[in-house]
Chains A and B, each alone.
Chain A
């Protein structure tokens, strides 16, 4: 079972690094703790929901910022929503960009908003990749007969 142990260690380290680099925060821990036998895929389900919702929100944001006359209230509402959902899984860096984004909305700063949109898209894809990698690792462990390390 060496490979399993190795994989498990890899997973633990990987998660630790995500926390360390600020991709994830305490909320992610909470999610992991909520997972139990009655809901073994809880975290994956929640994160998938987040991905779905985020794609939608990012599209809405891009659309809103492409308008001739930008409705900043609408943009702000979307960012606010995105901030809320990113906080749900602990996507810390995404959340931080959202905060800056909202400030630009308040100032009605078009350039600032466009910049933030790029930033938030970037951070989102980063954390998405990280999480997908994480889930892959978990799958591998389970496939190899191991169990996920307790959080």
Chain B
């Protein structure tokens, strides 16, 4: 065995590391298998991403690490990456013959713990065990964290760990952890019932995730910490460690969603031409957040298009001239995990960030922003037949729940609206039909599934669409405001949903709502059946109707602005609509 690991025992880490390799190229699959076997790893190969997911799901605890190619015919590697990260919480390494920075960046953003360039050398594979080990360490560290992830004690813990590691070199990692846990008086149920060398993985079911999000919302996203969440969730068998790692993934996920949402939002419906939309129902060619995914394929497309869009946005942005930094606020601080993650210099994003920051400074609940970005992105509201749908649903439910928990963050909207108002006047009628169509179809797909909230949400989306569209015009002022507007819509998207859930009907709905009966009317929303919005949405496909909407929007918005709203009663729908 040429692996050079000191430990002679057969089960000693990292020998016997269970690796799942996913690559559609048969030549590479064979080579990688051979290389990994030479490293004394236990290798399983897979030529299709879906097959890989099935394998992973069948044996939740069956693998330690996944290595996957980026370009695969049946599913985008990044999508697989996300699924694995969220569902199985395994480290994933991406590979590709394409080493462009943007691709690598994307990999990192999607949660890859490494990105290898083909041709891959043996030595690169030899050390992949470090990712497994690192993850375990981080999970253990999380136990010690009472607050957030700002691991002040991380370094200290790290050194403690390394000391332990040295002591335990060659020993089973599990026993090492056991000792640490014992020292921490941490009651890990997992240790009692498994004989494998791996920590038992918690399956985050829909309900569990729902509870999780509820707890997160209750605490307040920026104040959240694993222990607090754990306490609130009140799930006896769940460990803080589980919560911590899940929280970390959740955060990354939301950040990613928000970014893509922002990008999408800022570009309105402009950038969909290049995205292949094979999903007939969805038309989610549009970047982002609100997608109509009827099935997994759609989801994949969604992700793909989202990514595509992302890449294109970079160019588009330049073209569009969205250069100006709209918001004057300083970049988000660490308090806002959402924005902190985005160092991207691109305009939209920075605007977004600034926007977020402004939102934050307005005292709004960070949750909103995050939520809306997260909702649409990966997890469509529509039902998916496969397992994936469960997860999506869970997020959906989570969002709904989350929203119902939270008091309307009205002030935030108010202020945002203020900012937008100045721009509003110059905006011109919408031209972005595709956006509407997308939303429409999205809505339609939602109708069939279930909850009222979904309906409301889609309805909200509609309003948002109009909202977005109204700001499409290229005038500098508007474009500069666009990101903000977009953000607002994003926020209002979910918020609307939430609001609708919370305070149905009674609203100081402005008269214009009557015109845009479809979804603007909150009361309509909540009280009417699903069919209504659907029907009304159908109208949206009519261009003339579309053109009309914004006008209405503007008019009413203007008038609305004059009328103060009672924050608690303020329907989110309105907020979305009111650029005031």
Contact = CB atoms under 8 A, between A and B. Distances in A.
Given A80-B98, A90-B119, A85 B27 contact: yes
Contacts of B27: 46, 49-50, 53, 85, 88-89
A40 interface: no
A71 B247 CA distance: 42
Nearest to B121: A30
Contacts of B122: 30, 33-34
A137 B38 CA distance: 27
Contacts of A87: 97, 118-119
Interface string B547-578: 00000000000000000000000000000000
B121 A77 contact: no
B35 interface: yes
Given A80-B71, A80-B97, A45 B30 contact: yes
Nearest to A54: B27
Contacts of A26: 119
B535 interface: no
B31 A73 contact: no
- Which 9 residue pairs spanning A and B have beta carbons closest together? A84-B97, A27-B119, A88-B27, A50-B27, A87-B119, A49-B27, A88-B28, A34-B34, A85-B27
Given A34-B35, A77-B71, A80-B97, A49 B30 contact: yes
A84 to B, nearest CB: 4
Interface string B1-40: 0000000000000000000000011111011001100100
Nearest to B29: A49
A80 B118 CA distance: 12
A39 B121 CA distance: 18
A31 interface: yes
Interface in B31-61: 31, 34-35, 38
Contact of A30 (B25, B26, B119): B119
A34 B71 CA distance: 25
Given A84-B118, A87-B118, A46 B71 contact: no
21 contacts: A27-B119, A30-B119, A33-B122, A39-B34, A46-B31, A52-B26, A53-B26, A53-B27, A80-B71, A80-B98, A81-B25, A81-B71, A84-B25, A84-B69, A84-B71, A85-B25, A87-B119, A88-B27, A88-B118, A88-B119, A89-B27
A53 B29 CA distance: 12
Interface of B: 24-28, 30-31, 34-35, 38, 69, 71, 96-98, 118-119, 121-122, 276
B34 A85 contact: no
Nearest to B28: A88
A90 B35 CA distance: 15
A64 to B, nearest CB: 14
A14 interface: no
Nearest to A25: B119
B21 to A, nearest CB: 13
A83 interface: yes
* Residue from the set B24, B31, B96, B119 with the largest chain A CB neighbour count within 10 Å: B119
Majority SS at the chain B contact face? mixed
B118 A49 contact: no
A42 interface: yes
Contacts of A81: 24-25, 71
Interface string A69-111: 0000100010011011101111000000000000000000000
A34 B25 contact: no
A83 to B, nearest CB: 5
Contact of A49 (B26, B38, B96, B121): B26
Given A34-B35, A87-B97, A46 B119 contact: no
Contacts of A83: 97
A45 B119 CA distance: 18
B274 to A, nearest CB: 9
Given A73-B276, A84-B118, A42 B34 contact: yes
A62 to B, nearest CB: 19
A80 B97 CA distance: 8
Contacts of A80: 71, 97-98
A85 B97 CA distance: 9
Contacts of B31: 31, 34, 46, 88
Contacts of B38: 34
Contacts of B30: 45-46, 49
Nearest to A38: B37
B253 to A, nearest CB: 27
Nearest to B274: A73
